[in-house]
Chains A and B, each alone.
Chain A
Amino acid sequence: MTVVERLCAPTRDVLLARGSSGPRDHDIVSARLASQLAARLTDSLGADRRRHRLDAFAAELGPARFDAPFAWSARAARRPIGSSVAHDVAEGAMPDALSAAASEIERLCDRAQRGLTRRGALGGWLADAPRAARALCAVEASTWAERLLRLVEPTHDGSIAVGIADAWFDVPGTTITLQGRLDAALRPAAGAHLGLLRVRDGLPGARAADGLVVDALVAALAGRCPTRMVGAWPDAGLCLVVDFDDDAARRAARLLLACADALAAPSAAPSPLEAMAA
């Protein structure tokens, strides 16, 4: 598994061409690999009835140990809202990102007020938040969306889809869910190979390519198998492109298994929450 290309401030056409090329002559993620992965994950964590979510962050950094429970904030809300915003603006449904963000927040609040959201959902938090917090969320989300839109510059020819759903795969018979983070799909023409793109903050780390193949594997398991996976770090103006081939799929599976094993193994050092409880 190798990084095919490292692109500095690529234009839309370069991103589209590099992100969706690459050979593909058979199904990369065979049914055998998928079933072996599921069996090994079940061996590692099948007896554990807590819910586990494995993703590219866990593959790159090890199973995350958070010192505080998740809470919504403008920072946490910017991608879910920003994704819808990017989609609406790209589709021409809204004139600009800021208006689209305000409209999406209003829609989420409305759903929450009508009791259509589950407990802890973003809409509930927004509905209860002060006016200033909602306005801040709109700005954060529109800034996030603008970043994605400037990167891929979607047109109406359907070659680039933004604001797509993440890939999710529930391992049968366990409480393990795999998540592949996806922000755009690149397909220059009907029938052409599919490239997938995801955006992250900051700089690509030393194991950035590992995270990319994990996202690609989960996308493949969820039925959207890419030929290439593109990681974009707009803060750095960098994109990494990796081929998703047999080797990459096997490496991604091994990384997920290593995460599961690490979660299953008793930790030497307790997390801050565990330490507080003790």
Chain B
Amino acid sequence: MTPATPAATDLLGALRGTPALRPHVDRGLAGGLRAWLEDGLFERLGARAAAPIVRVTPRLLLDDPPVTGAATARLRGALLVQLLRLRVAGLEPASPFEDAVAALGASGRDAELVALLCDLDSDDRSRLAAEVAAHHTVLATSLPSLPARWSPRCGVRYAIPLAGGAVVLRGDVDLALGASGGSRACVCLVDLTTSTLGSASDATLAYLALLETLRTGEQPLRVAALSTADGATVVREVTSELLADAVELVLEAVARSAAA
């Protein structure tokens, strides 16, 4: 599915879809995917019980070198995530930058980023505040309000151990909506980014869908990415083909990592 402009896309509407048309949860799918991963990892790694742990992340999946010198980009991303959380709580930030800074400072996480923020000079701080305000405008347009009955969860983390703990699939989702446990799939995952969406988005979304399936035993309904740089969104239906692609990506990434 190609990225769409915000004017053409109602993200929440696209995620919700038509409830009656939602697919049934396939209870055997998670077990099958796990077995496929375990077999594939054994073929690639062998019985390396003492091997160092391979941590699979979206970045490793894409064979993407770590970004250096992007401290302000990380700060911008962290602040936008805080603004998303505030919006989920029903708070309409009067001053997005100041509210995001207050939330980041109170989060108890990202101490390094909080220190970095304190060290910014006034020019950099003003520039960052302007960027955050602009991104927040896009966020507010794309996610105007989230009903509490959709059970929104923020910062959902995944750490799925495989191969006896030698491989750990890690990831986190900025926003999860919908409750699991029913007969039909209804959980939607949203990945927020402050950069533009590229070809890597599909792989990241497939990976997140795989993590959610392994973690809960139920495949999610849809996964989406939202760029606050331009308001573009990608929404993907979670199908067995999408999850199979994710398994292949994980196995390739582990093989690459083990060979390196």
Contacts and interface: CB of A to CB of B under 8 A. Distances in A.
Verify that A and B bind, or say they do not: yes
Interface of A: 8-9, 11-12, 73-76, 95-99, 102, 129-133, 135-140, 142-143, 146-147, 150, 153, 201-203, 233-238
B157 to A, nearest CB: 5
A96 B215 contact: no
Given A8-B217, A99-B148, 12 more contacts: A8-B31, A97-B148, A98-B89, A98-B148, A132-B99, A133-B102, A136-B89, A136-B106, A139-B154, A147-B153, A150-B216, A235-B157
A143 B156 contact: yes
A76 to B, nearest CB: 6
Q: Which 4 A-B residue pairings sit nearest by Cβ, starting from the closest?
A: A73-B108, A9-B217, A75-B108, A133-B106
B88 A73 contact: no
B214 A9 contact: yes
Interface string B91-119: 10100000110110111110000000000
6 contacts: A98-B148, A102-B89, A136-B86, A139-B85, A150-B216, A237-B217
B166 to A, nearest CB: 12
A83 to B, nearest CB: 16
Interface residues of B, number: 43
Contacts of A233: 159
Contact of B161 (A137, A146, A236): A236
B160 interface: yes
Contacts of B168: 203
Nearest to A126: B106
Given A130-B106, A237-B216, A146 B151 contact: yes
B206 interface: no
